[in-house]
Amino acid sequence: MPTMTELLARKCHRTETGLAATELPDYLSAVPGWTCADAAITKSFTFKNYYETLSFINAIAYVIHAEDHHPTITLSYQHCQITFTTDSVKDAAGNKGGISENDFICAAKIEAIVQQSFS
């Protein structure tokens, strides 16, 4: 079972191998508040105002760019939803998109930013 500390120490890498469904609960326990659905992991964040919401986006932009693993970001005045999936992962039928360790590495790094800067 990976820990937050272990995920923070890892770097994203190109992969076509997703996590097995049996591995997901262990990975989810390392990143509190993230949920899994439709071959993706997601978390919503709430902030005081639009400025703080945009500050969050700017703070995570460096990590996202450095890891070269880009989420879908949905933004509104006080809310932001981050969704990670790995397009290079394919399911048994060959469809694109699944959950890989990369998704959890980035989720852990975003959690560290939130704990450090937005708590």
Phi, psi of 23 (to 5 degrees): -85, -25
Q: 67-71, 90-94, 111-115: which has the minimum mean pLDDT?
A: 90-94
With contact defined as beta carbons under 8 Å apart, do 40 and 85 qualify? yes
DSSP track, 34-100 = -EEETTEEEEEEE-SSHHHHHHHHHHHHHHHHHHT---EEEE-SSEEEEEE-EEEEE-TT--EEE--
Q: Which numeric CATH code is attached to 4-117? A: 3.30.1360.20
For the stretch 4-20, pLDDT in tens is 999 999 999 999 989 99
C-beta of residue 118 within 8 angstroms of C-beta of residue 52: yes
Residue 92 has a pLDDT of: 65
State yes or no: pLDDT of 31 exceeds 80: yes
Per the CB < 8 A criterion, the answer to whether 100 and 47 are in contact is: no
- Residue-level pLDDT at 65: 97
Domain boundaries, given as residue ranges, for the chain: 4-117
Identify residue 70 by its one-letter amino acid code.
H
pTM of the model: 0.94
pLDDT reported for residue 33: 97
Decide if 108 contacts 63 (C-beta within 8 A).
Answer: no
